[in-house]
């Protein structure tokens, strides 16, 4: 396991596995249509957030000098993305860095200052490490956790986009 630096110098903990060695060698199949739908839903919600949330969220933050109302959900989504990133790689999914890329998109959209960026990255890393400390091999439980977390991530992204976009 290695550390991979983000552009800002904050590090996201990632597990590197050769893509060639993971394709078709695990009990976990390549990205299924349900996985693609989950990924696309999260991407769509993040893009929707980029277009709809930022202008209003920025003015709310300026007025209230507090956190946006969706902050807890956003932190949980960051943690879920970290867990999915680890579990999918562990189980030999061929989607590579899709989940880390999702997190980078989230950071571009929501991390308006270094402190907030650091909190989001810390939550991603917490999700990643929480499963790295438990699972060393892909087990049925790890696959089940992956499915639950993908469903939770899809729900969180949808709720954030639905509740807080205009």
Residue 68 confidence (pLDDT): 86
pLDDT at 131 over 50: yes
> 119-155 burial, b for 16+ CB within 10 Å, e for fewer?
bbbbbbbebbeebbeebeebeeebbebbeebbebbbe
For residue range 144-157, what is the model confidence (pLDDT) as tens digits?
999 999 999 999 99
Q: What's the pLDDT band for 14 if we cut at 50, 70, 90?
A: very low
Long-range contacts, stretch 45-50, CB < 8 angstroms, 24+ apart? 45/157, 45/158, 45/160, 45/161, 46/102, 46/105, 46/106, 46/109, 46/157, 47/105, 48/161, 48/165, 49/109, 49/110, 49/160, 49/161, 49/164, 49/165, 50/108, 50/109
More confident residue, 5 or 113: 113
How far, in Å, CA of 160 to CA of 8, rounded?
Answer: 26
Indicate the SS3 state at residue 33: helix
For residue range 72-129, what is the model confidence (pLDDT) as tens digits?
999 999 999 999 999 999 998 888 789 999 999 999 988 889 999 999 999 999 999 9
pLDDT at 11 over 50: no
Residue 53 confidence (pLDDT): 47
Sole residue written with tokens 């270094």: 114
Indicate the SS3 state at residue 54: helix
For residue range 21-70, what is the model confidence (pLDDT) as tens digits?
333 434 444 555 565 556 656 655 554 555 544 445 444 444 445 788 99
Residue 135 confidence (pLDDT): 94
Backbone angles phi, psi at 145, to 5 degrees: -60, -40
Quote the tokens at residue 102.
């999702």
pTM as predicted: 0.63
Nearest of 32, 39, 22, 11 to residue 138 by alpha carbon = 22
Angstrom CA distances, 50 to 62, 102, 105, stand at: 18, 13, 9
How far, in Å, CA of 160 to CA of 74, rounded?
Answer: 8
How far, in Å, CA of 92 to CA of 96, rounded?
Answer: 9
Residue 122 confidence (pLDDT): 97
More confident residue, 84 or 19: 84
């Amino acid at each position: 396991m290695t550390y991979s630096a983000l552009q800002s110098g904050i590090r996201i903990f990632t597990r590197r596995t050769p893509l060639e060695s993971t394709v078709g060698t695990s009990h976990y199949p390549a990205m299924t249509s349900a996985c693609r739908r989950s990924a696309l839903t999260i991407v769509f919600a993040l893009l929707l957030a980029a277009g709809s949330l930022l202008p209003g969220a920025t003015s709310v933050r300026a007025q209230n000098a507090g956190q946006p109302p969706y902050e807890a959900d956003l932190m949980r989504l960051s943690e879920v993305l970290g867990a999915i990133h680890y579990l999918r790689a562990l189980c030999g999914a061929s989607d590579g860095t899709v989940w880390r890329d999702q997190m980078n998109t989230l950071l571009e959209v929501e991390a308006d200052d270094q402190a907030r960026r650091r909190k989001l990255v810390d939550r991603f890393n917490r999700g990643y490490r929480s499963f790295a400390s438990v699972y060393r091999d892909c087990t049925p439980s790890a696959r089940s956790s992956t499915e639950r977390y993908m469903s939770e991530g899809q729900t969180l992204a949808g709720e954030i986009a639905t509740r807080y976009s205009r």
